[in-house]
Amino acid sequence: MVEKRRNTARVKWRATVIRRLIFAIIAVACVASATHAMDSVSSEGTWPTSWPKELEGLRKQAISVVGGTDCRIHHEITFDQRDAFEAAWPFILALKSKGAPLIILRSPDPNMSRALESGVRVWPAVRSAPKSEVATPRNPNASNMRARWANCTFIELVVDGKVVDLNRISLPADTPIIDRRFDVKKRIDK
């Protein structure tokens, strides 16, 4: 009888150890996957030197973010003066791929790593394509706007009406404009 109790206690102890080990493995896997999903944010814009030299002075007020499941990079440039934005706007537009959209968002836009009050997000193409190639959606049926246009460089413009004012800038005629300022849905990636 005593031997049977010892065997039962050992079986229960082993089962407890195995449960705890499985729980620890699952916890480590969850932490590792959550860490992988975090964004990497630079303290200034790290865009390529091939961008227009007129944007060089904006590096200190910008950040570059690498994140998401595909580790895609984008550059956020914040503006707090209308004159600075209007001077930079033609050079920012020059970054956009031919045929790529301009996505207009309402301020403040909290969709990414920080809430953007007024400024732009430049999403470089995942693959490089000749400048002459007209952008087409990578996956036209994708519900995620950023995934849909991943094969081209497109711009998100966060409008506040003071610094970034659509009445004071020109929008290119050959560009699809996607206006998300008044969407009921708050997130652009859905």
Which residue is associated with the tokens 């409008």? 159
What does the pLDDT look like over 4-63, one tens digit per residue? 666 676 767 677 777 777 777 777 665 555 444 566 888 888 899 999 999 999 999 998
In this structure, the answer to whether residues 81 and 171 fall within a common structural domain is yes
Q: In whole angstroms, how far apart are CA 2 and each of 12, 14, 16, 139?
A: 15, 18, 21, 69
In this structure, the answer to whether residues 82 and 124 fall within a common structural domain is yes
In this structure, the answer to whether residues 104 and 129 fall within a common structural domain is yes
CB within 8 Å of 37: residues ≥ 6 apart: 67, 68, 69
Domain of residue 89: give its range: 40-179
Q: How many domains does the chain have?
A: 2
**CB contact at 8 A, 131 and 186:** no
What does the pLDDT look like over 73-82, one tens digit per residue? 889 999 999 9
Q: In the Cβ-directed half-sphere of 19, how many Cα atoms lie within 13 Å?
A: 6
**Lookup: tokens for 125:** 């193409």
In this structure, the answer to whether residues 90 and 148 fall within a common structural domain is yes
In this structure, the answer to whether residues 73 and 146 fall within a common structural domain is yes
Give domain status of residue 79, yes or no: yes
CB within 8 Å of 173: residues ≥ 6 apart: none
What does the pLDDT look like over 47-100, one tens digit per residue? 999 999 999 999 999 989 887 766 788 899 999 999 999 999 999 999 998 888
Give domain status of residue 116, yes or no: yes
